[in-house]
Amino acid sequence: MSHINLTDIEGVKLAQAISSSDSRGLFMKFHPEELFRDELGSVAVSINPKAGTIRGIHLQVEPFAEEKIVTCLQGSTFEVIIDIRPNSMSFGKIATFELSRENASQLYLPKGVAHGFQTLVPETIVQYFLTSQYSPNYSYSIDPFGDIGIDWPLKELLISEKDTQGVSLEYAAQKYAESLNI
């Protein structure tokens, strides 16, 4: 698999949250409507007590494919994204990046870009803005240890059974293409 810079994946954007801090703590402001093409469909929060937790690598296919904005509100994550869009210039490419409360970055992912992460510290909280609601019948998990060749930074892992039994990248890309009638 070919690993490239995050923003070399077609349509992926990195934006800064507006943040300020004082003696009371940190205030962060987000504007997801500035990044989305579709309307905001849901907001999700992932609370991860243990370092080494892997969530993903997930995607949904049409008619529930989703744009995402991912923000690390507390702690830090090692982010993994994979372009599975058959007509994309960056099809099959993988990028990794660290999101953290300190860098206050927001990661925008267009439809057809699979996403996963590993928590780097305990008590990591990740927030998602999504343009579609979760639909288990149109959802796939790509095997995070299979043919994609990710070198996860932490070797002590906590991962769901569903994610360890994920599909191959090729299968996920095929299902996405089929959902587009390509």
Nearest to 119 by CA among 90, 163, 157: 157
CB 119 within 8 A of CB 53: yes
Tally of CB atoms within 10 A around 143: 17
- 31 tagged catalytic: no
Render pLDDT for 111-153 as a digit per residue (tens, 0 to 9): 999 999 999 999 999 999 899 999 999 999 999 998 888 999 9
pLDDT digits (tens, 9 = 90+) for 5-25: 666 788 888 777 777 777 777
> What domains does the chain contain, in order, with CATH numbers?
6-179 (2.60.120.10)
- The whole-number pLDDT of residue 79 equals 96
Which candidate in 108, 128, 140, 176 is catalytic?
A: 128
Out of 58, 115, 140, 176, the active site residue is 58
Q: CA 151 to CA 97: how far, in whole Å? A: 12
Q: 145-155 pLDDT, tens per residue?
A: 988 889 999 99
pTM: 0.87
Q: What is the DSSP letter of 93?
A: -
